Amino acid sequence: MKLFLILIICASAISSSFAYDPSPLQDICVAIAEPENAVFVNGKFCKNPNLTVAEDFLFQGLNIPGNTNNKLGSKVTPVTVDQLPGLNTLGISLARIDFAPYGLNPPHTHPRGTEFLVVLEGELYVGFVLSNQLANRLITKVLKPGDVFVFPIGMIHFQLNVGKTNAVAFAGLSSQNPGVITIANAVFGAKPPINPDVLIKAFQVDKKVVDYLQSQFWYDNN
């Protein structure tokens, strides 16, 4: 059953109708006048095809559970172009997500990719929030093993293990480098910190609350 579900993920991700990379493949790509000073391209530089080997297209270890012994009780094991060079230009990536009982993959967004999630073990309460234009409506569902759920590109979404046992899910993403922005980390853990006056007005809370939140260590489960 597990192998069948994983094959579904791979087949769906490979489908050309699903693969999608919008223009940028990284957060920023500032133009420069002198190409010799360039560090990045939009994506990754390509290896000479005559020098490629099987290992360029291989990632091992997704059968090993991630360490969920952290504040969130979850661990994401990504397989993007950074971990699997052969994904370059192919417009797909993958991730394994492990959850301790009641573990959370906190609200986050992928700025460059749609995500679809398949649950292998446990029960997950998942959801995403629509844009301001659609009144920030919340779309949620409790997923059981074998269920598949889609999080549209750019939408803030989350997964919570609502069971008393561990949970495991696999996610396919429609970009070789979908990126991830964890909302709490980005807002309260930005470096340098966002001016508290901005957050006080945005969240309509007392400065002490903002100071407290900005002083916390915001764990990244990726």
Distance of alpha carbon 222 from alpha carbon 105, whole angstroms: 9
Query: What's the rounded Cα separation, in Å, for the pair 175 and 22?
Result: 8
Query: Is 115 known to sit in a ligand binding site?
Result: yes
Strands 115-121 and 181-182: unpaired
Separation between Cα atoms, residue 13 and residue 82, nearest integer Å: 18
166 is in an annotated binding site: no
Q: Tell me how crowded residue 77 is: count the other CB atoms within 10 A of its CB.
A: 20
Which one-letter amino acid corresponds to residue 205? V
How many Å apart are CA 115 and CA 150, to the nearest integer? 6
Phi, psi (5° rounding) for residue 63?
-80, -10
Q: How far apart are CA 222 and CA 115, in angstroms?
A: 15
Sign of the C-alpha dihedral computed for residues 201, 203, 206 and 212 taken in this order: negative
Does the annotation list 42 as a binding residue? no
Residue 185 assigned ligand-binding role: no
Q: 81: phi > 0 → left, psi -120 to 50 → alpha, else beta; which?
A: alpha
Asked whether residue 110 is marked as a ligand-binding residue, the answer is: yes
Using DSSP's 3-state secondary structure scheme, residue 4 falls into helix
Give the annotated binding-site residues for oxalate. Answer: 105, 110, 115
Residue ranges for the known binding site for Mn(2+) are 108, 110, 115, 157
Give the residue numbers of the binding site. Answer: 105, 108, 110, 115, 157
